[in-house]
Structure 1
Amino acid sequence: MSASPKSLLEIDISKPRYDQSTYVGRAKHFLQVTNPLNVFATSNALENARSIVTKHRLKEPLPDGFTVDDLWSAKILYDSAFHPDTGEKMNIIGRMSAQVPMNMLITGGMMTFYKSTPAVVFWQWINQSFNALVNYTNRSGDAQLSNSHLLTSYAAATGGALTTALGLNHLVKNASPIIGRLVPFVAVAAANCVNIPLMRSQELMEGTPVYDENGNRLGLSKAAARDGIIQVTFSRISMAAPGMVLVPFVMNRLERQGTLRKVPWMTLPIQVSLVGFCLTFATPLACAVFKQKAEIKYTNIESELKEKLDQQFGDNPPNTLWYNKGL
């Protein structure tokens, strides 16, 4: 779609291309942002995307022949690699576009080697190390965590996952094989409930930035941080559920039919492939459950922030505030 330089500058790229008030619009947005192919973008491509976005924000002329689709492609690539609050380039493994390739390998390993205690310890440790990096990379606002805080959060989440996995394995060792195959999912869900709040605990203690409808920062809200962390935790568990719940039933059936006994070396490749297929769709669909630019009502924020806004706005404070919930 060709467009004049002036009309390109009139496009509002501060918001996603698709309507974020609807689930379908959010799903379309995250299908593009979490596209695994974005991981392979070169440093030059990412810097070019940042340059295009920066020029557009400053109302500077864009390259000759630039189209609307070119502009949105640059914005999507920018969103996939740069933090929405700080503008910093995110660690490549922590980006949401790396979720599918990384999680399919790690999850496949957890679900294949779930019986051996050393293997459970190894794969849960790998998974929590990856989750800790993702949670830190995609934290809301510009929160900074000390090394000791990061280490404490990481150790607690890893310990929680290992305790859950090993404890459940002991409890279900005489149960149906399908029950044993579901243990990794329960461990992952439990760990998410520990890892995400701990990794973002500074937001809970100090608050996450909240803004008015024009993007003006109004202060920090602990209530918004709490709501955002709850939403992210739910989304992460939903993201893992299809692959870690449905695939075990498929693998259990293949085992009962004797297929895996004939070619046992295919167990890992089959599970990784099936999990990857599930994650390709589950990742963007789970991210889209809640709005990225989340809302919180004035009546639901803490009293300290209310007092500040009352002083600033008098009898007419904003009814709704917005914040980045994180991913």
Structure 2
Amino acid sequence: MSGELPLNINIKEPRWDQGTFMGRAQHFFMVTDPRNVLLSSETLEDARVTVENYRAGIVKPGLTEDSLWKAKYVYDSAFHPDTGEKMVVIGRMSAQVPMNMSITGSMLTFYRTTPAVVFWQWVNQSFNAVVNYTNRSGDAPLTVNQLGTAYVCATTGAVVTALGFKSLAARLPPIMSRFVPFVAVAAANCINIPFMRQRELKYGIPVTDENDNRLGESPRAAKQAILQVIVSRIGMAVPAMAIPPVIMNALEKKAFLRRYPLLNAPIQVGLVGFCLVFATPLCCALFPQKSSMSVSSLEPELQERIREISPQTTTVYFNKGL
């Protein structure tokens, strides 16, 4: 059964060319749109039904191409691309800007005392743990022990780094203390993401040919995927955690903020939010979501298997996660 809309629109792939940075940026501006967080369960379910029905060759009456693409991006914003599970709200990429602006703004505001540093690093790593688990690549489950280990290691690493750099910054110009949160966040990303996705590093992530036929699992593909995600996450943090401290350092010398110190936190959160609205999609777009690597770079046993079942395949593809 089909409607007026043709069935040859490839909604398995993004609407824009993912071979270019601008195409990927347009895609992620849609995926990370904070307004998607406010969508009701009914709207999400309607988008899921629309997308899954279209893939099955069923087009509801009156469906237009623009409506189909809108449903696809609503679907992508809430459901995991590999498992199809509905993701928890704060773990979705559409929640990145509102959640990160609140947490990052607070980290940048309350950086002077040790209890505040410890508390906000803990909050940030708790949030990161949810995001990393929710946006993991592949469909491999994580055990409670693995989740706990990743969470404890990342939180400990962030707190130790933050306190260590805070101690060092005390002997440097005052503005350097404002960059304690960024250094801690960068270090924690290097710990949290690999630990949270340790099963992928051990057992691999699914790799496919260009037609999405699954060829096996590759730990080497997982390493490449995780490295790309770490670079993207640190890149997201740079504008939000580097630009506002410089601006706030200048503003706090002005009479206005001295007169109204309670405005410090809202202004800082607003600056962080403005930076994240652009930094989040642009840094997600640094690498293609459907990443690739040559067959010759895979594990020898997987290379052999691919040569047997798909000898014409020279490049494999995989979801790098977010």
Structure 1 position 203 matched with structure 2 position 206: no
Structure 1 residue 118: Cα displacement: 0.7
Structure 2 counterpart of 1:293, from 290, 294, 314: 290
Shift of 1:279: 0.3
Q: CA deviation at 1:174?
A: 3.0
Equivalent position amino acid for 2:266 in 1:
P
CA distance in 1, matches of 2:237, 2:169: 21
Task: State the 1:6 CA deviation.
Answer: 4.6
CA distance in 2, matches of 1:170, 1:139: 34
Amino acid at match of 2:202: M
Quote the Cα distance in structure 2 between the aligned partners of 1:189 and 1:40: 29
1:265-317 per-position Cα deviation (integer Å, ceiling 9, x unaligned) = 0010000000000000110000000000001111111112112112323xx34
Aligned to 1:221: 218
Cα distance between partner residues in 1 of 2:142 and 2:115? 31
| Root-mean-square deviation (Å) | 1.1
User: Per-residue deviation at 1:112?
Assistant: 0.4
Match of 1:147 among 144, 151, 155: 144
For structure 2, the 5+ residue unaligned runs are none
Structure 1 unaligned spans of 5+: none
1:18 pairs with one of 16, 22, 25: 16
Give the structure 1 partner of residue 37 of structure 2.
39
Q: Which residue of 2 aligns with 1:264?
A: 261
Conservation of the 8 A alpha-carbon contact between 1:177 and 1:252? no
1:178 corresponds to which residue?
175
C-alpha contact (below 8 Å) 2:5/2:59 kept by paired residues:
no
1:8 CA displacement: 3.3
1:189 is the counterpart of 2:186: yes
Alpha-carbon offset, residue 143 of structure 1: 1.6
Tell me the SS of whatever aligns to 2:6: helix
Does residue 158 in structure 1 map to residue 118 in structure 2?
Answer: no
Give me the whole-angstrom Cα distance separating, in 1, the residues matched to 2:289 and 2:226: 12
2:314 corresponds to which of 312, 315, 319: 319
- Say how many residue pairs are matched: 321
Match of 2:48 in 1: 50
SS at match of 1:169: helix
Q: How does 1:300-315 map to 2 (within 5 A)?
A: 300-313=297-310
**Moved runs in structure 1, 4+ residues, more than 4 A?**
none
Q: 1:178 Cα shift?
A: 1.1
What TM-score do you get using the length of structure 1 for normalisation?
0.96
